[in-house]
Amino acid sequence: MTIRHGLALLALAAAVAAGCAGGPVLANPPAQQPVVVEPTPTPVPVHDPLPVELPRDDAPHDRLTEWWYYTGHLRDKDGGRWGFEYVIFRAERGGFPVSWASHLALTDETRDAFHYAQRLEIGPQVDRGPATGFDLALVGADPTRPETFGRPAWTMSGSNGRDRLAARLADDEAVAAGVPGGLALDLTLDATKPAALHDRDGWIDFGPAGGSYYYSRTAMTADGSIEVDGRALEVEGSAWFDHQWGDFIAVGGGGWDWFAINLDDGTDLTISLVRDADGSYPLVYGTLVDPDGTVRHLEREAFEVEITDRWTSPRTGADYPAGWRISVPGEDLAIDLEPTVADQELDTRATTGVVYWEGSQQVTATRDGLRLGGEAYVELTGYAGVAPAR
């Protein structure tokens, strides 16, 4: 999305500084330290932007901020429906060690349940990928807690639209996440459309705050398995991939709303609404991908987003939008979104310093007078503020 967790990564960088000031800074205990290869640094250009080249730019970059971000929709053989989110963040801040965070979430749409977990690491990570891809592994072991040694790695790898995601909670993580029977995801993804470069060339200009390279693979098939609290399920479905990097730290001091929509007619639509601290919207834009893969940039005047419902978190007290009508008059398109599960809030203050809401949606739409269904994900930040972690 436009900036995703830029503000969160500022908090993550602060965690790096805190770690360097006296806390643990090793990602793994020496007894299980893997052979580590840092990403080959990409020289920081004097003048951005540079052309985005794929699959070269699937690989990690030597920039202040970067993330690989997946959301998607899965079906199991028993008729259950699931949403998923899986992301790895990378933050680089001067002479501090590189810091990493990862979030994993599964939405059980059939049973009205939501499960998530998170990891934080500081220092070099495993990146065995070629120059045209990524192969990341986060162990999440805490050198001060021997019981965390030997945790299964959370891995993410891919190149040119063929990706593999795998994450499994260790026993202590599963208990902390409220799923003592375990939580795991193992998926193979294949893109069915070319990558979509946002704002025409894949470069988003944040003005004085810097800028970001940003592309998405909006249509990917997904096959594999999940495990939730003792249930092992074979699944298939679809996924959406965002990759973003650049020399920015925080943009959008008031937060943002991000929408990723796949319609049944093969149209994909993403919209970003970035708020400033005063409630204004300095950055609003969209990207529409036609069924044949043609990408079209949408200026803010090309669409409208109306909030149709709200939800208040019983834990944080945050008041979130919880229903939307998106209108794109030039496409004769109207889309109504409603969360599949009301509570899809993640408290990630322990890893990225923020509380946010990200979840799957029910989709009903009309286009040229015809009814359409679809699938969607929405991310909402800035509604809960940043409070001290409990």
C-beta contacts of 288-294 below 8 A and 24+ residues apart: 288/328, 288/331, 289/193, 289/196, 289/218, 289/219, 290/266, 291/265, 291/266, 291/267, 293/193, 293/194
pLDDT of residue 210: 84
User: What is residue 175's three-state secondary structure?
Assistant: helix
Return the CATH fold of 6-41+56-381: AttH-like fold (2.40.370)
Could you give the CA distance from residue 257 to residue 275 in angstroms, rounded to a whole number? 8
pLDDT over threshold 70, residue 339: yes
pLDDT of residue 143: 83
Tell me which of 24 and 74 has the higher pLDDT.
74
Cβ neighbors of 111 (< 8 A, separation 6 or more) are 80
* Omega before 49 within 30 of 0, i.e. cis: yes
Listed ranges 15-19, 95-99, 255-259; the one with the highest mean pLDDT? 255-259
C-beta contacts of 356-359 below 8 A and 24+ residues apart: 356/5, 356/8, 356/380, 356/381, 356/383, 356/384, 357/313, 357/318, 357/320, 357/381, 357/383, 358/71, 358/85, 358/105, 359/83, 359/107, 359/114
pTM score: 0.89
Express each pLDDT in 193-226 by its tens digit: 999 999 999 999 988 778 999 999 999 999 999 9
Express each pLDDT in 166-187 by its tens digit: 999 999 999 999 999 999 999 9
pLDDT of residue 248: 84
Could you give the CA distance from residue 95 to residue 75 in angstroms, rounded to a whole number? 45
pLDDT of residue 208: 78
pLDDT of residue 93: 87
Tell me the domain boundaries of the chain. 6-41+56-381
Q: Is 295:307 a contact under the CB 8 Å cutoff?
A: no
pLDDT-derived band at 125, boundaries 50, 70, 90? low
Express each pLDDT in 342-381 by its tens digit: 999 999 999 999 999 999 999 999 999 999 999 999 999 9
Express each pLDDT in 272-301 by its tens digit: 999 998 889 999 999 999 999 999 999 999
User: What is residue 318's three-state secondary structure?
Assistant: coil
pLDDT-derived band at 33, boundaries 50, 70, 90? very low
pLDDT-derived band at 253, boundaries 50, 70, 90? confident
The whole-chain average pLDDT of the chain stands at 87
Q: DSSP characters for 26-73?
A: -SS-GGGPPP--PPPPPPPPSSSPPPP-TTGGGS--SSSEEEEEEEEE
Could you give the CA distance from residue 133 to residue 127 in angstroms, rounded to a whole number? 10
